[in-house]
Structure formats: C-alpha cells, structure tokens
C-alpha cells in the first residue's frame, strides 16, 4: 500500500472527452478543468490535438490523442500516419486501439509489428505510448498474449478499454494485465470509472493511470473525505 495526497491522485487522471460531437467550447472547458485540478492529461480525439496543445501551452497537462479510435480497424500505415500527425500538431501522449480482428485471427506477428511501429514513433518524439486492448471483446488468453507482446515491445502503458465498447475496465482485467506485465509496462484503466471507490480499487489492483470523464467528481469526493477525517493523505 502507498500514501497518496490529493495532488498525487489528480496526477493519475486522464481527463476525458472523446465524444464525437465535442465542440471547441467543450475542449476549452476540458482543458481549463485539467489545469484547475492538476490532471495529468486531457484525452481527446486526434483532430483536437492542436487546439488542446494551444490551450495547454506552458502548463504541465499533457495532450493525449486517441488513434484509430474507437474500433482500431485501420491499417498499420494509417495508424502510423495518424500518430505522427497527432504528435506534429501537439499531442504528447498517444492512445491507440489494436486491430482486434487480427488478434482474433491469431495473427500475433501482425499485432507485434503494429505495436512496434507505433511505439517506435512515440519514442522518436519522446511521447508516451499507450496500447488499448478493448478487453470486452477478448478472452483471457488473448489478453495474456497481448501482455506478452507488450513486455517484448515495451510501450509505456497497456490500457483496458476505449470506453465505447459494451463494457469498460474491470478489476479482474487490471489484475490480470498487471500480473502479466509486472513492472515492465504500466497499466491504465479506463471506461466506466465514475466514483472514488472504483477509482481507488483500480489503483489498488495495479492501475497507474485512470481514464475518466468523472475526474472532477472523483477528486471532489476524495477531497471531502480527507476534510472529514482531517487527513493529508489516503492509503491505497
């Protein structure tokens, strides 16, 4: 277990708005909230990378572009172009969705090549890389196979979900992923994390980053609990 201050917990949050109808006004609001609450990153669709980079200039909030989102069903070449373009216009973190069809076909060489190419680009630009599994469609065996590839390729994070599938992050999946990557790769939990209790359980299970659109409510809930107990930190 570890002691976390409120600031520590805020810096675990990727503040998210990936809605297809997100407006410029919504992006301005998202970025200002991220600044106010000291969140680690804003998670946005790739097209909004430049806008958010401009809005977050000279702050410590990263710009996280979603690549091949939410289906992952584009070619490696397309994903690489989208990744480079996002970085060139301001993204400082990349969350890409794997090609689930190729995984289902047992084409692990394809999945490894895809991961390697995208992670290579991120390293060249000194940008954080995250690989979205979309676990709701996968068997445990497929999740483990992805973890084994990740241990070999070494992206910065593997991630449970897009938040657009039939279900999101589960404690079982976070534990499984952490078990099979250990300390080589970090785990991000995303999808359906909407309250402080779930947030803390995901961290306890091994998640080192949380993607959520409910970050403000979660931090306010924890802040209230700390004020009630007159504590400076919480143990998770």
Query: Which residue in 149, 66, 139 sits closest to 111, CA to CA?
Result: 149
Query: Which residue in 72, 141, 156, 137 sits closest to 110, CA to CA?
Result: 72
Query: Cα 194 from chain centroid?
Result: 15
Contact in structure between 233 and 3 (CB atoms under 8 Å) = yes
Q: Which one of the listed residues 62, 95, 156, 173 is annotated catalytic?
A: 95
Measured CA to CA, the distance from residue 102 to residue 1 in angstroms comes to 38
Residue 95 is among the residues annotated as catalytic for this protein:
yes
Residue 28 is among the residues annotated as catalytic for this protein:
no
Measured CA to CA, the distance from residue 16 to residue 99 in angstroms comes to 22
Residue 40 is among the residues annotated as catalytic for this protein:
no
Q: Which one of the listed residues 159, 178, 186, 200 is annotated catalytic?
A: 159
Q: What is the DSSP letter of 236?
A: -
Contact in structure between 134 and 95 (CB atoms under 8 Å) = no
Contact in structure between 236 and 201 (CB atoms under 8 Å) = no
Contact in structure between 228 and 203 (CB atoms under 8 Å) = no
Q: Which one of the listed residues 79, 178, 188, 200 is annotated catalytic?
A: 188
Integer angstrom CA distances of residue 230 from 139, 193, 208, 226 = 44, 26, 26, 6
Query: Which residue in 153, 144, 149, 154 sits closest to 186, CA to CA?
Result: 154
Catalytic residues: 95, 159, 188
């Amino acid at each position: 277990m570890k002691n976390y201050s409120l600031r520590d917990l805020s810096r675990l949050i990727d503040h998210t708005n990936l809605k297809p109808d997100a407006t410029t006004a919504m992006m301005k609001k998202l970025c200002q909230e991220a600044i106010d609450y000291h969140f680690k990153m804003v998670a946005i669709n790739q097209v909004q990378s430049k806008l958010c980079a401009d809005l977050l200039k000279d702050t410590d909030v990263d710009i996280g572009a979603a690549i091949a989102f939410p289906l992952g069903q584009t070619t490696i070449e397309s994903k690489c172009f989208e990744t480079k373009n996002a970085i060139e216009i301001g993204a400082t973190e990349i969350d890409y969705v794997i090609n689930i069809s190729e995984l289902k076909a047992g084409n692990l060489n394809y999945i490894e090549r895809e991961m390697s190419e995208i992670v290579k680009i991120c390293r060249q630009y000194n940008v954080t890389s995250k690989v979205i599994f979309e676990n709701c469609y996968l068997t445990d065996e497929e999740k483990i196979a992805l973890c084994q590839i990740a241990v070999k390729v070494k992206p910065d994070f593997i991630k449970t979900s897009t938040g657009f599938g039939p279900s999101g992050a589960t404690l079982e999946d976070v534990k499984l992923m952490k078990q099979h990557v250990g300390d080589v790769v970090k785990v991000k939990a995303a999808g359906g994390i909407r309250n402080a209790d779930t947030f803390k359980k995901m961290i306890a299970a091994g998640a080192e980053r949380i993607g959520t659109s409910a970050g403000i409510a979660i931090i306010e809930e924890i802040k209230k609990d700390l004020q009630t107990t007159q504590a400076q930190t919480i143990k998770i």
